Amino acid sequence: MIPRTLYGPEHEDFRKTVRRFFETEIVPHRERFEEQQHIDRQLWNKAGELGLLCVTMPEDFGGLGVDRTYSVILMEEQSYAGDSGAGFSLHSDIVANYVNNFGSKEQKAHWLPKMATGEVVGAIAMTEPGTGSDLQSVKTTAVVDGDDYVINGSKIFITNGYLSDLVVVVARTGNSGEGSKDLSLILVEADRPGFSKGRPLKKVGMKAQDTCELFFENVRVPKTNRLGLEGMGFIMLMKELAWERLMIAITSVAGGEAVLKHTLDYTRNRKVFGKPVAQFQNTRFKLAEMKAELSIARVYVDKCIEMQLKGKLGVDDAATAKYWTSDLMMKVIDECVQLHGGYGYMLEYPVARAWIDSRAQRIYGGTNEIMKELIARTM
């Protein structure tokens, strides 16, 4: 296997801490988290105490001040643990990035330390019932009234929404008719009058992930809650979306690798017609194909991570990584279910949970069809 060059010895202690957290605090409680449709709120505080939240944020604002390779470790270890419930990456690597990259000094000083400790859980509200991947069609409005914005509208499929304390809301603040020039990003605290949350949504998979609808009825927030300049929301979103899509690629490859490992162990131990399943030529060929394709995907994604660290990751590169690896993940997991036979359909097996949890990878972050459109535009 081609060696990875992203990590040095200094990463290993961090990886051990992350792995231990997921093995002791998340995995044993998976069924309970799935029943309540979110992880325990106190786990956010525990993760903060261990330094697992907002690691790339500046030390002055409570982070570790490290680069995104540490964020990658968090995503990989969560995938290796088979967990789809903890919304730490969205909180730390998406929401915190918007605050850090576009917020005022006051906004950063107020919110980032609290996000780093887990005192505040962050979410971002883009998707609406009628918009999906088309952000320029957002209907939620933020109308100026004196020194305030008055927000009306609703959002759906919001990760960390139910436990959220702070939400970055994508809202329409203009009426130029050009969707990309009319959007702004506004920080909304969860205790604002008129802001309410629906119950966690009942999903096919990812049942422990906190996902809900958010409703805004005449929610009044000061203009000082706006991130950056008015009307610059779409541009800010585009600047961060490449990283968000790469995050999906990172978890897709790691998730595929984890399921392949479980399947290799299973086929070596499961006997059919007097010999292990792994000794049949069909099984060996399938395992070889999956290893080869995941190895190719790993090299491409690692290269994209290197480019991201240098600030050179292109929109088309990120779209390629997101679309191709999430498709590959589903292909690999489906093959692994087949190699498990009937047991692959049983939820006590990691492969079955991965099968239902991973389907959303091809949808969120922009559907894979949108990714192909983005790639085509650069050709």
Is 348 an annotated catalytic residue? no
Residue 57 gets the label, from left (phi > 0), alpha (psi -120 to 50) or beta, of beta
Q: What angle do CA 305, 30, 294 make, to 5 degrees?
A: 30
The residue from 213, 244, 257, 335 that is catalytic is 244
Q: Report which of 143, 110, 131 is spatially closest to residue 219, judged by C-alpha positions.
A: 143
In the block, residue with structure tokens 């162990």: 265
Burial (Cβ within 10 Å: 0-12, 13-18, ≥19) of residue 125: buried
Which DSSP symbol is given to 343?
G
What is the rounded (10 degree) CA torsion for 209, 166, 236, 70?
-60
CA 361 – CA 321 distance, rounded (Å):
12
What is the H or E stretch that residue 127 is in? none
Residue with tokens 């030390």: 59
User: Residue 123 carries which side chain, given as an amino acid letter?
Assistant: A
CA 336 vs. chain centroid, Å, equals 24
- How many other C-beta atoms are found inside a 10 Å radius of the C-beta of residue 376? 10
Dist. CA 169–CA 186, nearest whole Å = 5
- The DSSP secondary structure of 182-236, one letter per residue, reads SEEEEEEETTSTTEEEPPPP--SS-TTS-EEEEEEEEEEEEGGGEESSTT-HHHH
| Strand-strand pairing, 122-125 and 166-172 | parallel
CB–CB of 142/97 below 8 Å? no
Catalytic sites, residue numbers = 244
